[in-house]
A and B are shown apart, each in its own frame.
Chain A
Amino acid sequence: MENVMEWVMKFFGVVIFTYMTIVILAYSGMFLFAFLDLKRQRRLDRRELDDQFIDAFYSKPVTVLVPAYNEEAGVVGSIHSLLNLNYPQTELLVIDDGSTDRTAEVVIRQFDMVRAEKPTESRLDTRQVRAVYRSQVHPNLWLIKKENGGKGDALNVGINFARYPYFCTIDGDSILDGNSLLRVMKPIMTSDGKVVAAGGNVRIVNGMAVDHGVVSDIRLSGRPLVVMQVVEYLRAFLMGRIALSRLNMVLIISGAFSVFSKKYAFEAGGYNTETIGEDMEMIVKIQRLIKDKNMDARVEFVPDPVCWTEAPQSLAVLRRQRRRWHQGLLESLWRHRGMTLNPKYGSVGMLSIPYFWLVECLGPLIELGGYLYVIAAFFMGGIYYEYAVLLMLLFILYGTVFSIGSVLLESWSLNAFPKQRDVLRMMALSLTEVVWYKPLTLFWRVEGLVRSMFRIRSWGDMERVGATKGMSE
């Protein structure tokens, strides 16, 4: 019996240590990549670039799509922020996906809208559109009311109605910085359209002072749960995506803020309405299309343009969100499993997808196993005690060190949180990450994995607290 136990402990020990070593090495590489990239651009006067791109002669017109489902609390703030965008030519389509609250009423009243007609390409099959409204105050602002069909379906309606060759997707609870669209469009414009999708940096708005859709004072939320998510976003966006973008291996750009070429979106068949993670699915489909048709095109992440989004403030909502995200991730990877380790798909198939399988998808299972292993090893004492200490150290290295490193990297390069007190708080909370936040999110992600296997599907509403109106604290 003792031998069996020893064998089991040894086996799992080897698996977990190997996994942790791979992950730490991968993260270190990506961190280094991000550091070098941000170091290069750190002192650049971006206003010069903005000035160049603001000229309508050089820029490309963009249709902004705002899918909204029960976004009564934040949709007006979002629209205000989009109307304030510093961009020469946009049209703004708010797609009310059959909300059961007063989302449409609020928008119609606030922006003085009347029934109108708008040409549509109808190339993507969608649920029925009930009515189209146009603002009398802002003629480029439209509201499309449709039957409920999910976010993917709402976006497809938006693509059908979009007038311009590029469309930008923004969540109904998100707000954009004034120059964000200009900056996210830069790689698309300068590449002569070879960049067919681009995503910006998403940050958490909870705790900030927001005035008419503009973040007027940057303050860190007082809630530890929100602060941990702030750190998590910084880490994910700055470390992972910068490196993957430079290597043309991006598989995720946040649906909260991304721009696509309409032509490629049509060719990829639009958003998938069946999957939970429609944003990742769209990028994977586009990457697949690029490789299948041998196109000279790429997907990019741009760290500078910022979109502010509302984060869950309670454990229950965060749990639902993480479960849903993980289900979406697994569904997309499974759907495109043929790309895994397939040389036809280049670095996306050989590196990016295996990385997402191992680290992002199955990683939580191994890491949670690691936590259980630590507990078991502590109880077993003897040599296992040393294992437990070693594994905890690796968790600290993997979690805390990279989190603090990301906070420092962000503060040094982009300086999103100018107050030193906020930076110190983020760092202090990062020190506690491995003992509460990490195990919790791992558990929820594993839950998502299990639910996917048993095909349990529920989107789970995100309860809005109106953070985009500065009402979250």
Chain B
Amino acid sequence: MIGVPVTAVFFGVMLLFLVLAVMTVYLFAARDSQERKMKKADSYLLRNSKRWYQVLRGIETASQELVPSDEAELAAVEEIFRAYLTNVSGDKIKERIQEFADVHLAPFYRKKLKSRNWSERMNALYRIEDFGMESLIGDVRRLERKKLTADERFQLHLIDLQFRPDGFMERNATRLGDLSEYEARQLFFLMPEHVFNETVAMFGKLAPVLQYGLIEVLGMRQDLMRLRFLEELLDSSDPEIRIRVLRAIDAFGIRTPDRILERAFDSPVWEERFLGARMLRRVPADEAARYASRMRDDPSWLVREEIRALSVRQRSPEGKMAVLR
């Protein structure tokens, strides 16, 4: 019948159980070690929280005792810095954190940047950005030459923007085309004003994904000075750009100029007509009614529905108030 390797399978299963037993011992030992680390970190926090408060407020200078001696104490210092950066912050505090991190924490992160473990490298990159550690720029740039994941690459862009904002777009415009739009938006939001202005100025040279992200950010920033620039983009042959522009203008929360509404309603793209219909919320009722009657038989169900919803809204007290606003 079938050749039955019972003994072989038996020993195979026993071997696997042995491996699992070893893994269990390893896991529990690792947990114990982790717990010891956490206790050490807690003890550091208990000992030094008040002194850190004094140091970060500039009342006293950081003594050698505050310098972390190992990973556990490093974790405690990270907690303190994160808490101050998130909850208190302020330029002076940031400066002091940066100074301390550059001198005393850099060796830890330099080592982590070389780690084979992706999450260790990512954590190091996050900290370099959070604590503004300029001393590690050289190490970060060396990392650029290696094969990196998309997450690492994005983090490198954030660090580059933070430490070398001037000429950021010229240096990176081509490479930034690989970002997702979400990442591009994040980058644009973090840009200092002059870099952002430069980016807007080179709009035509940007990859589509960056163009889309930039338009969204312009809408979110609600900077009325950019209205003319956005309006010019309505001449684009890319319907996605036109749709994004209309959405950005809608996000401004102003009464949309008639010329923009006309262009939206004349568009063969239903999304543009839909956004036009949505913009009618901020148009006085009689004018809105004129557009509404024109769009009532639109071929797109969503446009018709938006027009219908508009009529209902404008009859309600809330809607009247919104129009007045």
Closest CB of chain B to A8's CB: distance in Å? 12
A20 to B44, CA, bound (A): 53
Closest CB of chain B to A161's CB: distance in Å? 14
Q: Which residue of A lies closest to B309 (CB)?
A: A119
Which residue in A41, A52, A394 is a CB contact (below 8 Å) of B186?
A52
Which residue in B20, B31, B189 is a CB contact (below 8 Å) of A405?
B20
Instruction: Provide the residues of chain B in CB contact with A423, threshold 8 Å.
Output: 27
Q: What 1/0 flags go to A381-402 for Cβ under 8 Å of B?
A: 0010011011001101100010
A109 interfacial contact with B, CB 8 Å? no
A393 touches B13 (CB 8 A): yes
Interface 9-residue window, one of B52-60, B118-126, B132-140, B192-200: B118-126
Instruction: Provide the residues of chain B in CB contact with A26, threshold 8 Å.
Output: none
A43 touches B185 (CB 8 A): no
Q: What 1/0 flags go to B11-32 for Cβ under 8 Å of A?
A: 0110011001001100110110
Which secondary structure characterizes the binding site on chain B? helix
- Using known A-B contacts A10-B2, A43-B120, A408-B20, determine if residue A189 contacts B27 with beta carbons closer than 8 Å: no
A294 interfacial contact with B, CB 8 Å? no
Instruction: Provide the residues of chain A in CB contact with B4, threshold 8 Å.
Output: 383, 386-387, 390
- Using known A-B contacts A13-B2, A44-B122, A404-B20, determine if residue A57 contacts B189 with beta carbons closer than 8 Å: yes
- Using known A-B contacts A17-B2, A393-B6, determine if residue A40 contacts B118 with beta carbons closer than 8 Å: yes
Instruction: Provide the residues of chain A in CB contact with B31, threshold 8 Å.
Output: 411, 415, 420
Instruction: Provide the residues of chain B in CB contact with A401, threshold 8 Å.
Output: 13, 16-17, 20
Q: What 1/0 flags go to A35-65 for Cβ under 8 Å of B?
A: 0000011111101100110000110000000
Listed residue (B23, B86, B182, B185) with the most chain A CB atoms within 10 angstroms of its CB: B182
- Using known A-B contacts A401-B20, A404-B20, A408-B24, determine if residue A43 contacts B2 with beta carbons closer than 8 Å: no
A106 to B230, CA, bound (A): 50
Q: Which residue of A lies closest to B149 (CB)?
A: A40
Q: Which of A400-452 contact B (CB under 8 A)?
A: 401, 404-405, 408, 411-412, 415, 420, 423, 427
B17 touches A190 (CB 8 A): no
A411 touches B27 (CB 8 A): yes
A296 interfacial contact with B, CB 8 Å? no
- Using known A-B contacts A57-B189, A393-B6, A401-B20, determine if residue A43 contacts B30 with beta carbons closer than 8 Å: no
Closest CB of chain A to B5's CB: distance in Å? 8
A45 touches B123 (CB 8 A): yes
Q: Which residue of A lies closest to B32 (CB)?
A: A420
Q: Which residue of B lies closest to A191 (CB)?
A: B180
A105 interfacial contact with B, CB 8 Å? no
Closest CB of chain B to A79's CB: distance in Å? 26
A388 to B87, CA, bound (A): 65
Closest CB of chain A to B188's CB: distance in Å? 10
Instruction: Provide the residues of chain B in CB contact with A461, threshold 8 Å.
Output: none
Q: What 1/0 flags go to A121-142 for Cβ under 8 Å of B?
A: 1000000000000000000000
Q: Which of A167-187 contact B (CB under 8 A)?
A: none
What are 14 inter-chain pairs, A to B, with CB distance below 8 A? A40-B119, A43-B117, A44-B118, A58-B182, A119-B309, A121-B305, A190-B180, A191-B180, A192-B182, A383-B4, A386-B4, A389-B10, A393-B6, A412-B30
Q: Which 7 A-B pairs have the closest CB atoms?
A: A44-B119, A43-B119, A48-B126, A192-B181, A393-B9, A390-B6, A386-B4
A45-B119, A427-B24 given; name 13 further pairs at CB < 8 Å: A40-B117, A40-B118, A43-B117, A43-B123, A45-B122, A58-B182, A383-B4, A389-B10, A393-B9, A393-B10, A411-B31, A420-B28, A420-B31
